[in-house]
Structures are given as C-alpha cells and as structure tokens.
Amino acid sequence: MKSPHKVLSVAPLFFLLTFHTLAFPAQDDQPGTRPSNGHICIGCVVVVSVIEQLAQVHNSTAQASMERLCSYLPEQLFLKSTCYLVVSMFGPDIIKLLSADMNADVVCHTLEFCKQDAGQPLCHLYPLPKAPWEFTLEKARQMVKRSPTLKYSRSDSDICSLPFLVKICQKIKLAIENSVPFKDVDSDKYSIFPTLRGYHWRGRDCNDSDGTVYPGRRPDDWDIHQDSNCNGIWGVDPKDGIPYEKKFCEGSQPRGIILLGDSAGAHFRISPEWITASQMALKSFFNLPTALTNELNWPQLSGATGFLNGYSRIKENSLYLRLRERNHCNHRDYQNLSKNGASSQNLKKFIESLSRNQLLDHPAIVIYAMIGNDVCNGRRDPVPEMTTPEQLYSKVTETLKFLNSHLPNGSHVFLSGLPDGTFLWDNLHDRYHPLGQLNEDVTYDQFYTFLSCLQVSPCHGWMSSNKTLRTLTSQRAEQLSDTLKKIATSQRFTNFNLFYVDFDFQEITKEWQRRGGQPWQLIEPVDGFHPNEVALLLLADRFWNKVQRQWPEVLGKENPFNPQIKQVFGDQGGH
Ligand SMILES: *[C@@H]1O[C@H](CO)[C@@H](O)[C@H](O)[C@H]1NC(C)=O
Ligand SMILES: *[C@@H]1O[C@H](CO)[C@@H](O)[C@H](O)[C@H]1NC(C)=O
Ligand SMILES: *[C@@H]1O[C@H](CO)[C@@H](O)[C@H](O)[C@H]1NC(C)=O
Ligand SMILES: *[C@@H]1O[C@H](CO)[C@@H](O)[C@H](O)[C@H]1NC(C)=O
Ligand SMILES: CC(=O)N[C@H]1CO[C@H](CO)[C@@H](O)[C@@H]1O
C-alpha cells in the first residue's frame, strides 16, 4: 500500500524519527512505513542543510552549529542524547566537507545516506555544483577516506541496524513502551493519555477503570451517580431532586462527530521552526516530542475534531467545538479516526476502531474525507497506482455498509469530494521552500522534483512540473468525486442519511483572499502539500455553513439550557 506521509515525517530529523518509526511497529504493519533509502536521504540533506545554515546565521564553525542544534533539542525521547551521538559519529566528516564548501547534497552522497542507483537519475535538492558531479563526489570521498564512519554499510534502510546505534534504539524503544500504556494504543478504548492516539484523537475518558463509561453513550440512569457519558453533566439538582442530565439534556438530541480521514484530517504537520536556521532557538523544538508520539499529526487542532486553540489565531472553530457550542450535552463526543496514508482502498484496516454502540449510544455525524491518497502516490509513474472509479465505488459501498451496521439510527454520513490539487503547483512552484529562504536557492519546484526523484513524494501527480501529469491527476480526482456524488444520490441506508459535499479549496482560497491573505499561506510550508490549520478551519467553516443552510436537522437544535449547564458545571471538566 502507499503510505506517502510517513515520508516527510522522516525528513527533518531522520535519525530521531527512525527511532520513532521503530517504536511504533504495531500501528503500521505494512512494509514501506519504515523509512526507505529516500527518506534517509531527505533526512540527511535537511539536517546537513540546517547545520550549514546555522553556521552561516551565527557566523560559527560547523562544529559549533552542530552543538547548537543538539542543545536546542529537548531531553524527552532521548532526542538530545541521540543528537550528540549522531554528531560524534558523523560530525568530523560533515565538518571536513562543509568547510571545503561542499553542499548538503554532496555531503549526503559522500556519506552514502543518499545513493544514486544504477540507471536512476541523480537526486539533488540544491543546484548542482559547477564542477562535474563525479569529479566533486570523488574529491569529497578522498577527503573522508580514512574516516571510520564509512566502514558501515548503509545498504539496509533501517538506521537502527547500524552497529553503534542498535543499543540506543533498543533503549529508546523500551523507554517509550514503559512510559505509556503501549498495549492500548490500537484498541478502541478511550484514553486518559493525550497522545499515542489517546484523547487528542477522541473525547477523553472520564473513568478509565469502567468500560461502560465513555463519551457519546446515552446516560446510564440519567447519570445520577456518575458521569457515564463524560460530558461533565451529572448528579441531582438539590432544589428539586431532578437529575441534571435529564433536566438539561433530555430531548436535546445530543450527537457526536466522527471523522474518517487521511493525513489532512489528522492535520499532518512538520513545524517550519524545526528546519529554519535563521529562527531556530531553544523553544523551537518544545513541541517535537508530543508531535512525534502523535505520528506528527495534530488532531487536537484539526478542522473537524480540534478542541485547542492553535497557532493560527483565526476566529473559526472546529466542527466539534461548534457542535458543543450548540448543545453543551455534546461535550467530548468526538472521534478522530484519521490516519496518515489512508485512502478508500485501505480504510477497512482501521475503520474497525470506530466506537459506536447502536443501542447504547447517541447518533453521530460521520465525515468521510479521504481527500488525497486515492490519486496521490510517490511512484515514478503515479497514474497506474491511482484508484479507479470502479474500485472507489465498491470500497465506499463496503464502508457504508459497515457504518450502517455500527451507527445508531438517526446518524448522518457525509462523503467529501477530492480537491483539485493543481493549486499546489500554481501557488508554490516559484516560491522558496523554508530550506531555500536563507540563500534563495531552493524553490518548491526543486523540492518537489527532489521528492519525486527519490520516489517519496506524497503526491507526485500534483507536485510536479509536468503539466500533463497534473491535469491527469485532477481529472482522476474529479471522476472520483463524481463517483462519490453518485453514491450519495443513489444509495439509501436505514440508520443514516447520506450526503455529498465538495472539497472546495478554490472557495476557501477566495475567502482567504477577501481577508487580505495569499493562497500560499493555506499550505503547510515544509511539505508543500497539506492544507494547514487555517485552511482546515476555513473548510470546516464552509462545511458548517452549508449544512446549516441545506440540512439543518443534521446539526440539531440549539440547547436552551446551555447557560444553565455553564452555570452549574463550568467548563464541564475541560477536554
Ligand atoms: C565571522 O567570524 C570571523 C572569524 O571568527 C570574523 O573574522 C568575521 O569578521 C565574522 N564575520 C561577521 C560578519 O561577523
Ligand atoms: C469509576 O468506575 C469505578 C467502577 O465502576 C467506580 O467504582 C468509581 O467510583 C468510578 N470513579 C469515578 C470517579 O466515578
Ligand atoms: C430509524 O428512525 C426512524 C425515525 O427517526 C424510523 O422511521 C426508522 O424506522 C428507524 N429505523 C430503524 C431501523 O429502527
Ligand atoms: C508527463 O506526464 C505524462 C503523464 O504521466 C507522461 O506521459 C509524460 O511522459 C511526462 N512528460 C515528461 C517530460 O516527463
Ligand atoms: C483511523 C485511525 O487512525 N484510527 C485510530 C483511532 O484511534 C485509535 C486509538 O485510539 C487507533 O487504534 C486507530 O488506529
């Protein structure tokens, strides 16, 4: 299966993230989610670029800038010590090469983190050196000739198999396993732990020792004795003896929200602060450990299920927060079943983790948003790998049957169309990538070409200078959207109503421009692919308004008791 997004996740701090991948084998048992040679190559190029640029920014030696980089990293997950370890192994060679004005491409090929396989093109991020490539590389090799690091063969893509790293890999793995309830990571339980697919992904469980207590269920005995649905409303009003849950929530038709999404739904993101030398400081990496344990996703900020205030400071709220705002009885009833690399074709693997009891739980609004991976992959020729309309039709029908047998009656399901990703190239190709801003030497065109060359592009079809290919990709996306539309208008299910909504990036771009913004500001700068937080929130806004206009019954009524709930229960226990 294609799992394009692991890709960039391995890019910035390749060695650290390799450990991360190693530590989570159970979540992704498909091969190919381990970093490939291509991932390691990008990782090396990014790290060496950062070292080089830090030296430039601070007018320091490469040695000092490596130490600076390690000193910025947090201690958690062994990040700092791993950094020092790797520096002690490769530092001397990197210093030699950088001081001879070799760029990151040359350094990484010399150290064999990047390789040009026979008959394959040479993959490079920066413009090629003026001297012929073979000549430059040979010269560089001579410089590090007797260096011990070259003794290790890097033919194996798993960096943890390098002899001097085996031990620390094991240690890190153990540390991660022991510090969190690792066994629960893939179960359908709700959790009191924020990451490792805990409550950043679903509403927080309010009593971990009782399996009948979880967000979204109909209250048990009106929650007289305990908060069985975790919405923060329970107990009895001493004034009249009526249970609060009955008084405030009965007849308010509570409902939850469930997102079936891909990395966009999960809100995949690599912070530009992690790779931008000119702004790098101690605080740049504070959020890295949390991000790593969330597979580099930020569901707590995402458009559908987010509940924290993010970095964007725009006023729009996630769909979950709006549903909660409309009826406080919906508090904590969200599930984010989004996964990097998810598509119509592999959704089956994880949809089983959907947690809704048809008899005991409230209805749900389910949003099916596989917006990229059915047309996006990193193959040299991506077209044959794309999902066909027939394949889509059959898989989505299966998914809907599954939902019909798991969702409480009265639920609603939305199929989201695919975007037309040509806006990526149109808005970014001649802009500088964060790695190219300091010296104005890497555009997104170059960055995309580098990723495709290494066959690790999250979406070769749209992240390409080949216009024919971009057009083909858009055509397929449109056919798939039409198929979803057809399904929504022709199929009927007993337990939910089915709707289709467009994924209209053009509309939100216009909205953003009306507010004085630029289209490129809606895309994650590091990967040049994912919609960012602003885009996700604008999309959520559009979705909400459309539903409110066309199908208001989906959202339910405003609960007139909201002010009383707030008065008695405050923030209802928070999130
Ligand atoms: C950079 O450092 C070198 C040697 O330490 C010094 O000679 C030079 O003036 C410095 N350049 C700047 C721009 O500070
Ligand atoms: C959690 O559930 C257990 C078992 O049902 C119960 O004994 C305990 O009182 C509950 N705790 C809270 C805080 O409600
Ligand atoms: C679902 O609920 C609707 C009314 O809301 C009812 O007409 C229908 O019979 C119910 N379906 C099932 C399978 O219970
Ligand atoms: C552009 O993409 C099309 C479709 O995949 C392909 O047939 C064509 O060879 C490509 N052109 C170039 C110059 O690579
Ligand atoms: C699709 C997806 O990623 N689902 C995840 C939801 O969260 C649970 C754990 O809480 C994971 O097991 C699922 O894989």
Both structure tokens of 424: 């990526």
CA 519 and chain centroid, separation: 21
Query: What is the number of the ligand closest to the CA of 203?
Result: 5
Q: Which helix (H) or strand (E) holds 288?
A: helix 288-293
Q: State the DSSP code for 387.
A: P
> Is the domain of 387 the same as that of 521?
yes
Contact 429, 445 (CB under 8 A): yes
Domain end among 97, 131, 151: 151
Domain tally, the chain: 2
Q: What is the pLDDT of residue 186?
A: 36
Q: How far is the centre of ligand 3, averaged over its atoms, from the C-alpha of 409 (Å)? A: 6
Is 206 a member of any domain?
A: no
User: Alpha-carbon distance 145 to 521, whole Å?
Assistant: 45
432 compared with 196, residue with greater pLDDT: 432
Q: Are 463 and 451 in contact (CB under 8 A)?
A: yes
Q: Cα separation of 310 and 302, whole Å?
A: 9
The reported pLDDT for the residue numbered 154 is 43
Look up the CATH number of the domain holding residue 443: 3.40.50.1110
CB 438 within 8 A of CB 57: yes
Q: Taking all residues of the chain, what is their mean pLDDT, rounded to a whole number? A: 82
pLDDT of residue 462: 97
Answer with the residue of higher pLDDT: 127 or 173.
127
- Collapsing DSSP states into helix, strand and coil, what is residue 262? coil
Same domain, 144 and 262: no
Ligand 1 centroid–CA 59 distance in Å is 6
Say yes or no to pLDDT of 152 above 80.
no
Same domain, 531 and 409: yes
Phi, psi for 379 (deg, rounded to 5): -65, 155
pLDDT score recorded for residue 574: 82
The reply to whether 335 and 462 lie within a common domain is yes
Give yes or no for residue 196 having a pLDDT over 80: no
Is 457 tagged catalytic?
no
The answer to whether position 144 is within a domain reads yes
Structural domain boundaries enclosing 513 = 258-273+291-569
Considering the domain architecture, whether residues 393 and 532 belong to the same structural domain is answered as yes
Element (H, E) at 397: helix 389-404
Looking at residue 60, what is its pLDDT? Answer: 94
Pocket test for ligand 3, best of 359, 409, 553 (most atoms within 8 A of CB): 409
pLDDT of residue 252: 96
Report whether 238 contacts 224 (CB < 8 A).
no
Query: What is the distance of C-alpha 504 from the center of its chain?
Result: 20
Is 150's pLDDT higher than 80? no
* Per-residue pLDDT tens digits for 209-229: 888 898 999 999 999 999 999
Q: Global pTM? A: 0.82
- If asked whether residues 411 and 553 sit together in one domain, one would say yes
Residue whose CA lies nearest to ligand 2 atom number 1? 207
Crossing angle of helices 467-490 and 389-404, rounded to 10°: 40
Asked if 208 contacts 232 with a C-beta cutoff of 8 angstroms, the reply is no
Which tens digit of pLDDT belongs to each residue from 98-145?
999 999 999 999 988 898 988 889 999 999 999 999 999 999 999 987
Please give the Cα distance from 189 to 331 (Å, whole number): 18
- Please check the confidence at residue 233 and state whether its pLDDT lies above 70: yes
Task: Give a yes or no: residue 210 inside a domain.
Answer: no
Answer whether residue 30 shows pLDDT above 50.
no
Task: Please say if the pLDDT value at position 347 is more than 70.
Answer: yes
219, part of any domain: no
Round to whole Å and give the CA distance between 60 and 41: 25
Residues 321 and 439 in one domain: yes
What backbone phi and psi angles, to 5 degrees, belong to 443?
-90, 170
Where is mean pLDDT largest: 197-201, 272-276, 302-306?
272-276
**Placement of tokens 């970093």 in the chain:** 35
Residues 263, 143 share a domain: no
For ligand 5, say whether the CB of 324 is within 6 Å of any of its atoms.
no
**Residue length, the chain?**
575
- Whose alpha carbon is nearest atom 10 of ligand 4? 466
Which ligand has its closest atom nearest to the C-alpha of 208? 2
Task: Find the residues whose C-beta lies inside 6 A of ligand 2.
Answer: 207, 209-210, 226
What's the angle, vertex CA 45, arms to CA 39 and CA 50, rounded to 5?
125
Neighbours of 487 (CB within 10 A): 18
Element (H, E) at 245: helix 244-249
Provide the percentage of residues in the chain whose pLDDT is more than 70: 78
Q: Where a domain ends, among 86, 121, 151?
A: 151
Average pLDDT on 512-532 reads 92
**What DSSP character marks residue 498?**
E
What pLDDT does residue 37 have?
A: 75
> Does 168 fall in a domain?
no
CA distances from 80 to 85, 276, 282, 305 (A): 9, 18, 12, 32
Residue of 309, 509, 553, 308 lying closest to 412 (CA atoms): 553
Q: What is the DSSP string of 114-165?
A: S---TTSPPP-SSPPPSS-HHHHHHHHHHHTTT-GGGGS---SS-GGGSGGG
| Per-residue H/E/C for 189-233 | CCCCCCCCCCCCCECCCCCCCCCCCCCCECCHHHHCCCCCCCCCC
What the block records as the tokens of 539 is 């999309």
Judged by DSSP in three states, 42 sits in: helix
Pairing between strand 364-369 and 256-261?
Answer: parallel
Residue pair 158/18 in contact (Cβ under 8 Å)? The answer is yes
Catalytic position from the list 3, 49, 263, 481:
263
Distance CA 575, CA 572 (A): 8
Of 261, 206, 520, nearest to 374 by C-alpha is 261
CB 416 within 8 A of CB 542: no
Higher pLDDT, 87 or 484: 484
- Per the model's pLDDT, the better-predicted residue between 568 and 197 turns out to be 568
**CA 344 → CA 369, 371, 388, 416, distances in Å?**
9, 9, 11, 12
Based on the fold, state whether residues 428 and 297 are members of the same structural domain.
yes
Residue 420 lies in a domain: yes
To test the ligand 5 pocket, which listed residue (33, 192, 353) has its Cβ within 8 A of the most ligand atoms? 353
Tell me if 179 is assigned to some domain: no
pLDDT at 5 over 50: no
pLDDT in tens, 293-323: 655 555 555 555 554 445 455 555 788 889 9
Q: Is the pLDDT of residue 258 over 80?
A: yes
Q: CA 208, 212, 214: angle at the middle one, nearest 5?
A: 60
Same domain, 147 and 266: no
Between 359 and 181, the higher pLDDT residue: 359
Helix axes 79-99, 14-23, angle to 10 degrees: 150
Closest CA to 413 of 242, 551, 575, 225: 551
Measured at the CA of 156, the angle between CA 153 and CA 157, to 5 degrees, comes to: 125
What ligand is nearest to the CA atom of residue 59?
Answer: 1
Of 116, 151, 186, the domain-final residue: 151
